[in-house]
Structure 1
Amino acid sequence: VVSLSPLPPPRFGKGSASTSTAAPAPGSDTYKGWLFKWTNYLKGYQRRWFVLSNGLLSYYRTQAEMAHTCRGTINLATAHIDTEDACNIVLSSGGRTYHLKASTEVERQRWVTALELAKAKAIRMMNDQSGDEEPTTQSDRSEIQGTLKILVSKLDDLSTCNDLIAKHGAALQRSLSELEGLKVPLEGGEKIKAVNERATLFRITSNAMINACRDFLDLAETHSRRLQRALQHEREQRTHLEETIEQLAKQHNSLERAWREAPTLTYLTLTAGSERVSKEDASDEDEDSEYFDAMDESTEFITVTASENAQHKSVSMQFLSLEKEMNWLMRRRQHRTQIPDKPNYSLNLWSIMKNCIGKELSKIPMPVNFNEPLSMLQRLTEDLEYHELLDKAARCESSLEQMCLVAAFSVSSYSTTIHRTAKPFNPLLGETYELDRLEEFGYRSLCEQVSHHPPAAAHHVISQRGWTLRQEITIASKFRGKYLSIMPLGAIHLHFHSSGNHYVWRKVTSTVHNIIVGRLWIDQSGDIEIINNTTKETCQLKFIPYSYFSRDVPRKVTGVVADSEGQAHYILSGTWDEKMESAKIIQSSEGSSGSEGKQKTVYQTLPPKLLWKKYPLPENAENMYYFSSLALVLNELEDGVALTDSRLRPDQRLMEEGRWDEANSEKQRLEEKQRAVRRRREAEATDALDEGTSYIPLWFHQRRDSITGETNFVYKGGYWESKEREDWSMCPEIF
């Protein structure tokens, strides 16, 4: 984004009224106060709260905003400070310029003095840091030692002053006593007596001041020793933690070797451990000594922190026989753990987006600079990152407990979006993507781009562990200038084989903020209603939109699981980027009326249980598009995939390798090729007097859903059989 400095703002007239809080005296590390900042010619100067600290000048609309929102910051080390007139200050650094105005000349001079001192200190610190090649811990240690030396020298100075004052005070007292003994007129004796009394008072006051200074220094020295001990303790704890992690890593490697050498013994040990954990988890249901209130139709649920014992546990060994598990261990594939770092390309977003306001995102010709090296089909497959939630749900005997796990799965699909502000590649018509994890996790996933206008993708997943998931997603998006709204259309269907339970839900709206100016960030908002069409049980999930003024935890999600009669049984709470918990309701009662006059229900619950927790991101994720461990392997080349698979898309592959200029050229070629094929198909349809579309997807066909009544694309079979035969002759040549 090109930053344009505003034209010089108009001067305040003599009659301009302004109020400002006087800043504290310069000299301290932090300097705060009210100043007027030029915004634009419509609003003119606006009153803002400025904070000068550590060589940075930041401003906020109010003092309360200091806790969460900084409106702007300028580094004084590289800034130019200028004064226009009696009350104005101009700060410029790079392409950023602040026109500020104080209420009085005196206040302006105080700010200028503070800014100049802070600039000099920042430049000095920057020079010191550039010449200092020692590690940070060494510099911190040197700084602490230097501070202690200064404190000791100051203590010595005070002791010397104390001796001098005592010495000179005693001499003064003797001199005054000798004066009193002289024969002087009465008037002179009274004056000497008065001077003696004042000297005595001065000596008493000086002694009191010295004693107070000594006490202060003693306290400071004691506090410094306490801080040193605390710092030393933290260093020891850190060292101990590093040693523990290293030891755990060694144990992990030795266990892996033991597993490969003696898989039967390891299998039995892990199975016993998993049974013990299951019993411990089940015993939590019997704890009735603690109760927690939760309020219906409100986000103010009172919960407790769930135990961190609920960890990611693979359940494959409970479903596969020992012989099959051993075969899987022999055949399992090691996937990649990193991709090339993202290059640092700069691009003017406004020059591209200014002509696209109000258009569909899929119709905007975007360079790969705004993409991530994954297609929308691969992003859709990322919904399966926490597939073990569905494996666990398939084993549930209670449909209400199963609903809680399904709800947690529906929330978990958003956890990968918290840092993923880049857009995925729009799939070409006929493009496919497969994820075959049958031997590792028991499922196979297939996506196909079945329509281009509007863009629609069909997804089908079949698991040997008792469930089938299918969805057809059409992305509707609008660019509104400051933000981009992404609205997924279409229903998600989940069917469990043994119980026959059939769940249906839809996704919420995603919003990308600060499109033009500022740092991009993503929020999820809206409601999800999950319906078990077999039992008519429901779950209402609410994704609360982020607000500067809300006291709620950001990205909060709340929900209630109810039976077919509408009776609530579970309270769900958490965040869509971190974790979800469920608390079983044991009693409900009518509570007081809320702010809108509605009477709320008070729920008493058992302690909450952890349903889902996000996996940590891989190391160096910030330089790899913030990909999760699953996202890192989605574009990994595999043998035997269809010729239309997203892994084989050349522009996406070039972008992943960091060759963005070549990727942009290849992207234009593919899009033009797709448009030419579409024009040819439309011409053939016109010649055949067929007004409808002539494109037919390869692996999906349209059927009317008996539950929703909608016509959507469902898997018609044949893909995995073609893969077995290694026959892809039916695939179109789209790349």
Structure 2
Amino acid sequence: MSASFWCQVLHVKCFTKPMLLSSVFDVVCCSCHVNLKVLNFYLPFKVPQICIFILGGVMSEPKTPTPTPAGDTYKGWVFKWTNYIKGYQRRWFVLSNGLLSYYRTQAEMGHTCRGTINLATATITVDDACNFVISNGGAQTYHLKASCEVERQRWITALELAKAKAACMQAESDDSGDDFSPSSPPAAPGQGGGSQNSEVQSALRTLGSKVEDLSTCNDLISKHGSALQRSLSELDSLRLTGEAGDKIRQVTERATLFRITSNAMINACRDFLALAQAHSKRWQKALQAEREQRVRLEETLEQLAKQHNHLERAFRGAAQVNASKNVINCFSSDEDDDNEFFDAMEEAPEFITVPADPQFHKSVSCLLSHANDFGSCTIYKRRTRIPDKPNYSLNLWSIMKNCIGKELSKIPMPVNFNEPISMLQRLSEDLEYHELLDKAAKCQSSLEQMCYVAAFSVSSYSTTVHRTGKPFNPLLGETYELDRQRESGYRSLCEQVSHHPPAAAHHAISDRGWTLRQEITVASKFRGKYLSIMPLGTIHASFEKSNNHYTWKKVTTTVHNIIVGKLWIDQSGEIDVVNHTTGDRCHLKFAPYSYFSRDIARKVTGVVMDKDGKAHYVLSGTWDEKMEFSRVMQSSRGGENGTEGKQKTVYQTLKARELWRRNPLPEGAETMYYFTALALTLNEPEEGVAPTDSRRRPDQRLMEDGRWDEANSEKQRLEEKQRSARREREREAASQRTSSQSEEAALHDNYQALWFDRCVDQITGEQVHIYKGGYWEEKECGSWEGCPDIF
């Protein structure tokens, strides 16, 4: 029986020593439990531990699960060294976007990560055939063991490729200059070309990624080819005779030819890479110039289309005015019989001058100028990227251990825990899905309108699913405006109206028929393992056409794994959306996450009822993805529910329809604090905003630019300036104290908001701040004399 009888060996990890077998018996592999039938045969080599043998026509194959690749993600079971008591433990590893994370089970992937290593700065070493080590500068080291060598080699290859990609991306982000910016603004809405531009950018990124893969594969081929040649040289030095020696020499010759061919391919690929890298920036510059020229042409065409449309409307309006002789004053000029001029009606929004004769080429230039005054508008191009979040290390426990049980707003926190927007800007993010209010304003039925309002109340939480950073606490008197009247028809203003307790007033109005206002006070407690954030205050939405007025409150937000593990956010509680005009009501329930629950995570359910308690719609979905509504045809009481003996209500509904779906995150959001497309524009500098606007806050701007040390120093300066201003107000109040006033009342902070008046809400009876007007008029005039100096 010759060695060629063992026809296929996939792995090379072996028993510790050769074995002399003199009879027929079964050898069970100690790792994969494969039965190896052995005849009288002396094995001069080590028996493979994991293998596939074909012996006597019978094939035994190991049932070892292998990792599952999916695009850039690689997943699978790997044994991880834990300690000397438990040894190696089976863990589920996920390789994605240059990060290697592990979990105890696959079910934990959605909520609890046990650890993560960034491969961009990690080293990967192989201990033996199945063991390998991943280390990140000593701070994190994973001792891992695959079930076989092939599986280990698959992981090593995937890790090497991921490491090369991560290092390349990090280098690109560090070296990105003025040659080419992927954050170039997209085409404005309505111009088209945005999707084509994104496709071109995506193609460029894919080609770049494939080129980097090719470079990495070249290195791996060269490395493994050299190792193969050395191994074959060592076999050749054994000086085996007979059939085995001939086979080894034959394999050596073929390996030599393979290496020659591989070297030729490597040299060709190296030349290709050099050319690609040399011409890449020039191609990108040319593409950027072409794209900008196309955008300019599209803008010109849009302006011409708007002018043409305005001319048509003006001409039709003039014809209608001419037909209504009883309300039109007509006069003609004796000097020019070709033109007639008409005064518009008193109710008309603008004065229109048009010729009566269709042949009006003499006045085309005047009309074009007039149309340009009314029909054109400035199109703003918002930014689509911010600087990537730096990787600053911080000892979290050293800061948080003394904060247990304290109010979060009273804890001096470094900017390392923040995201580069303020709480006022975060509050303005509630308008991310303002289209729901636009649709609600068009509804004829108040019950259907309630469905859209309820979906809007849920949609505001979708922006928080990955947002574990804390927004900046606004300074007293700080404001933030969000003017999207040209693009989306609404304008929003926020002001910090109180510091202790911190309270922000918000007012938004849309020319599409709705108004939104709220005053939110955030109470928060750090509980050691998690952080609870309880927003206090009522949100009001009113609609001009139907005169319906809705109110609701926010639910509790919980940030888990504050000290150990990966941070994750959950929303829990109940919301009652009430229509105070008709008495309709929608009861929404946010189910808290439970490891033992069979329901989907982040589930939200609700029922829309009229004033008599009759159900008309059922709402269902998740607060991070989508909401649907179904019309109720019939309802009935079902069986008992749980131990309390309550009966479930069974609703017979029509097919569900989608109310709302979350917009996808921008590409690269994981390096930009998981901001949405709207959030990326919130802190973008704008001309003409108030001196107290959050965009002008220096510590927040420094943090966004990645200068965190300077941001921390600036943050301390601003907080001390705010404390000094508060002490000054208290001294003035004390000096004006009369004999009838108590000392406590005199020392009370007498701060008054600039744009909001404090009064009693007529709907809820709460003490609230309501917008008193004047901000947008002051902005138009460019006069900000009344604004305090807070920065």
Give TM class, smaller chain. 0.5 to 0.7
Q: What one-letter code is carried by the residue in structure 2 that aligns with 1:419? A: H
Change (3 A) 1:702 1:606: same
Q: For residue 609 of structure 1, what is the aligned residue in structure 2?
A: 657
Q: How does 1:309-324 map to 2 (within 5 A)?
A: none
CA–CA separation in structure 2 for the residues paired with 1:362 and 1:732: 22
| 2-structure distance, mates of 1:725, 1:125 | 61
Map of 1:201 onto structure 2: none
Which residue number corresponds to residue 600 of structure 2? Answer: 553
Q: Is the 8 A contact 1:494 1:504 kept in 2?
A: yes
Amino acid at match of 1:602: V
Normalising by structure 1, we get a TM-score of 0.65
Q: CA deviation at 1:399?
A: 0.3
In the alignment, is the contact (CA less than 8 A) between 2:94 and 2:102 conserved in 1?
no
**Could you say which residue in structure 2 is the equivalent of 1:702?**
758
Question: 1:391-406 maps to which residues of 2 (within 5 A)?
Answer: 391-406=438-453
Aligned residue pairs: how many?
A: 542
Matched-pair contact (CA < 8 Å) for 1:48–1:61 = no
Q: CA 1:366/1:253 → structure 2, altered by over 3 Å: closer, same or farther?
A: same
**In the alignment, is the contact (CA less than 8 A) between 1:542 and 1:559 conserved in 2?**
yes
Summarize deviations over 1:525-577 as a string: whole Å, max 9, x none. Answer: 11111011111110011111122222222211111000001100001111111
Q: How does 1:51-70 map to 2 (within 5 A)?
A: none
The equivalences for 1:627-646 within 5 A come to 627-646=675-694
Maintained 8 Å contact 2:78/2:145: no
Task: After TM superposition, give the deviation of residue 609 of structure 1 in Å.
Answer: 1.5
The aligned counterpart of 2:748 is 692
Q: 1:481 is matched with which residue?
A: 528
Where 1:619 maps in the other structure, the secondary structure is coil
Of the three residues 427, 451, 472, the one matched with 2:474 is 427
Cα displacement (A) at 1:510: 0.8
Which segment is superposed worse, 373-382 or 63-72?
Answer: 63-72
Cα distance, 1:399–1:328 mapped onto 2, change above 3 Å: farther
Partner of 2:705: 657
Local SS of the residue matching 2:758 = strand
Matched, 1:352 2:408: no
Contact 1:23 1:34 in 2 (8 A): no
| Contact 2:81/2:89, CA 8 A, preserved across alignment | yes
CA 1:435–1:60 in structure 2 vs 1: closer, same or farther (change >3 Å)? closer
Deviation of 1:639 after TM superposition, in Å, equals: 1.9
**Counterpart for residue 305 of structure 2:** 262
CA distance in 1, matches of 2:558, 2:551: 23
In the superposition, the TM-score normalised over structure 2's length comes to 0.60
Report deviation, 1:692. Answer: 2.9
The CA distance in 1 between the partners of 2:103 and 2:672, in whole Å, is: 33
- Counterpart of 2:723 in 1: which secondary structure? helix
Q: Which is further off, 258-267 or 331-340?
A: 258-267
- How far the C-alpha of 1:492 sits from its partner, in A, is 0.5
- 1:27 paired residue number: 50
Match of 1:367 among 409, 414, 422: 414
In 2, the alpha carbon distance for the partners of 1:326 and 1:402 equals 37
1:521-540 correspondence to structure 2 within 5 Å: 521-540=568-587
Q: 1:536 to 1:353 in 2, by over 3 A?
A: same
C-alpha offsets along residues 83-110 of structure 1, whole Å, 9 cap, x if unaligned? xxxxxx99995445789xxxxxxxxxxx
Separation of aligned partners in 1, 2:626 and 2:308:
34
- Check conservation: 2:518, 2:540, Cα contact below 8 A: yes
Query: Partners of 1:725 and 1:681 in 2: how far apart?
Result: 30
**SS of corresponding position for 1:262:** helix
With over 3 angstroms needed to count, the CA separation of the structure-2 counterparts of 1:471 and 1:119, relative to structure 1, is same
SS of the equivalent of 2:377 reads helix
Q: Deviation at 1:261?
A: 3.7
Q: Read off the aligned partner of 1:362 and give its amino acid letter.
A: S
Matched, 1:625 2:673: yes
Report deviation, 1:358: 1.1
1:57, CA displacement in angstroms? 11
Counterpart-to-counterpart distance in 2, 1:384 and 1:446 = 12
Return the alpha-carbon distance in structure 1 between the equivalents of residues 588 and 397 of structure 2. 36
Cα gap change, 1:458/1:46 in structure 2, threshold over 3 Å: closer, same or farther? farther
Whole-Å separation in 2 of the counterparts to 1:568 and 1:129 = 53
- Residues 401-410 or 548-557, more deviating: 548-557
Would the aligned equivalents of 2:516 and 2:539 in 1 still touch at CA under 8 Å? yes
**For the structure 1 residues 50 and 692, does the alpha-carbon distance in structure 2 shift closer, same or farther, using more than 3 Å as the test?**
closer
Pick 1 or 2: higher relative contact order, CA cutoff 8 A, min separation 6: 1
Shift of 1:407: 0.5
CA separation of 1:606/1:325 partners in 2, compared to 1, >3 Å: closer, same or farther? farther
* Residues 468 and 567 in structure 2, CA contact (< 8 A), matched pair in contact too: yes
Q: Is contact 1:644–1:733 with CA below 8 Å preserved after alignment?
A: yes
SS in 2 for 1:331: coil
Contact conserved, 2:100 with 2:116, CA < 8 A, in 1?
A: yes
Cα distance in structure 2, aligned partners of 1:125 and 1:721: 60
Amino acid at match of 1:457: A
AA matched with 1:507 = K
Distance apart, 1:600 and its partner CA: 1.6
Compute the displacement of 1:72 (Å). Answer: 5.5
* 3-state DSSP of counterpart to 1:673: helix
User: C-alpha distance in 1, partners of 2:583/2:613?
Assistant: 10
After superposition, the C-alpha distances for 1:473-529 in whole angstroms (9 at most, x for unaligned) are 001011111111111000011111222211110001111111112221111111111
Q: Is the CA contact 1:258–1:266 (under 8 Å) kept in the aligned structure 2?
A: no
In structure 1, give the amino acid aligned to 2:759. R
> Does residue 1:648 correspond to 2:704, yes or no?
no
Deviation of 1:62 (Å): 7.0
Identity %: 61
Q: Distance in 2 between matches of 1:339 and 1:57?
A: 25
C-alpha contact (below 8 Å) 2:726/2:749 kept by paired residues: no
Q: Counterpart of 1:639 in 2: which secondary structure?
A: coil
CA contact (8 A) 1:644 1:732 kept: yes
Equivalent in the alignment of 1:203: none
Of 610, 629, 642, the match for 1:595: 642
* CA distance in 1 between partners of 2:671 and 2:516 (Å): 33
Q: Match for residue 629 of structure 2?
A: 582
The answer as to whether partners of 2:632 and 2:652 remain within 8 angstroms in 1 is: yes
**Contact 2:494-2:504 at 8 Å conserved across structures:** yes
Partner of 1:721: 777
Whole-angstrom CA distance in 1 between matches of 2:463 and 2:109 = 29
Q: What residue identity is the alignment partner of 1:470?
A: R
Offset of residue 353 of structure 1? 1.2
Distance in structure 1 (CA, Å) of the matches to 2:447 and 2:372 = 31
**Pair 1:457–1:583, CA change in 2 (3 A):** same
* CA RMSD, Structure 1 to Structure 2 (Å): 4.4
How far apart are residue 127 of structure 1 and its match?
6.8
Shift of 1:395: 1.6
Question: What is the alpha-carbon distance in structure 1 between the residues aligned to residue 375 and residue 396 of structure 2?
Answer: 48
Alpha-carbon deviation of 1:69? 5.9
Counterpart among 528, 532, 556 of residue 509 in structure 1? 556
Contact 2:114–2:566 (8 Å) recurs in 1: no
Paired residue for 1:670?
Answer: 718
Q: Which runs of 5+ in 1 are unaligned?
A: 1-21, 83-88, 100-110, 147-248, 269-319
Q: Is the 1:48–1:60 Cα contact (8 Å) retained in structure 2?
A: no
C-alpha contact 1:30 1:51 (8 A) present in aligned 2? no
**1: distance between equivalents of 2:94 and 2:515?**
57
1:453 deviates by 0.5
Q: How far, CA to CA, are the matches of 1:487 and 1:125 in structure 2? A: 44
Is 1:541 matched with 2:596? no
Deviation at 1:405, TM superposition (A): 0.5
The alpha-carbon deviation at position 138 of structure 1 amounts to 10
- CA 1:325–1:369 in structure 2 vs 1: closer, same or farther (change >3 Å)? farther
8 Å CA contact retained: 1:455, 1:474: yes
One-letter identity of the residue aligned with 2:768:
N
CA 1:80–1:485 in structure 2 vs 1: closer, same or farther (change >3 Å)?
farther
Aligned to 1:408: 455
Q: Distance in 1 between matches of 2:557 and 2:460?
A: 12
